[in-house]
Amino acid sequence: MNLLPLGLQNIVHNLRFLISKPRLVDARDQYKFTDEHLKFVHLMEAMNYLRIAGDDGRSLPQTYFEFGTHSGRTFSCAVNSANYLGMRNMEFYAFDSFEGLPDTNEVEDGFFKAGTFSMSRAEFVSIVRRKTGVRLSDRNIIKGFYCDSLTSERQTSMPKAGVVHIDVDLYSSTVDVLCFIKPLLVSGTLLLFDDWYCFPGGALQGERKALTEFLEENNGYEIEPWKPYSTFGKSFFVTRVPK
């Protein structure tokens, strides 16, 4: 476990990189900029879609659910995007274990390993407040591994979903998330999958496998592809839910 605050961790990491790989600095910085730029632009587009297509909350719920929050980058971007667009009635919910990934299965989960992407709840809250000026309430932060925290009781207390950001890396976690949000989906909900293409092209694994199975096992739900999301992701509109 790294006991240094995240900001100091980043400084140490950057110094090590500058010393050990000085010729690769440009490549690293360009990739980082491009990946973040693509991601943040699409998040702004997602919020604007919700505003326009949702007729300022009259047609679509102004809610944002993020499953897998890690560094707080995407969550803060969503908050700032909504504020920039004047979406004053938006509600934001963060779902994370704040202990990193749970146990993984090498066949199903490939690259991803247990314990990675760990950040404390306090660090996450601090980052979001620093980047957005918003202090999240306990009601808006759901802590715990999804197999434990995504209960039927919590499900019934949640509003309908406008935008759902799924960055949970693992097949099993995606299954838990889709089961949880199933009754919260409406025609027009936007799904953003961060890790859709983290496997060889065409492979039915990870988030792709979980969504494919969800649609096969739940008649009446239909989706429409929108566009790639950042480097490895993909976005979809929910176009039909059972009545």
Reading the block at residue 30, the tokens are 């360009």
Residue reference for tokens 């999240």: 136
Sign for the CA dihedral angle at 130, 132, 138, 144 comes to: negative
pLDDT in tens, 67-90: 999 788 899 999 999 999 999 999
Largest CA distance in the chain: 60
Q: Is 185 exposed, middle or buried (0-12, 13-18, 19+ CB in 10 A)?
A: buried
Residue 207, CA distances (Å) to 21, 35, 161, 204 in order: 33, 19, 19, 9
**Cβ-Cβ contacts under 8 Å for 167 (sequence gap 6 or more):** 66, 67, 68, 69, 70, 74, 194, 195
**Beta pairing class for 233-240 and 222-229:** antiparallel
Opening angle at CA 97, ends 129 and 188, nearest 5: 75
Helix locations, the chain, DSSP H = 6-20, 25-53, 73-84, 106-109, 121-132, 146-149, 152-157, 171-181, 206-217
Reported pTM: 0.84
Q: What is the pLDDT of residue 3?
A: 63
Sites in the chain below the pLDDT cut of 70: 1-7, 31-33, 100-118
Q: Which of 189, 149, 234, 228 is nearest to 53 (CA)?
A: 189
**Cβ-Cβ contacts under 8 Å for 118 (sequence gap 6 or more):** 1, 98, 99, 100
Number of other CB atoms surrounding residue 71 within 10 Å: 14
Q: What is the pLDDT of residue 104?
A: 58
> Strand order of the sheet with strand 190-193?
141-143, 91-96, 63-67, 163-166, 190-193, 233-240, 222-229
Does 3.40.50.2000 match the CATH number of domain 36-240? Answer: no
DSSP type of residue 24: G
Q: Show me where the domains of the chain are located.
A: 36-240
Q: What is the pLDDT of residue 103?
A: 63
Q: What is the pLDDT of residue 119?
A: 73
Reading the block at residue 52, the tokens are 């326009």
Opening angle at CA 182, ends 167 and 215, nearest 5: 85
Reading the block at residue 125, the tokens are 């809250």
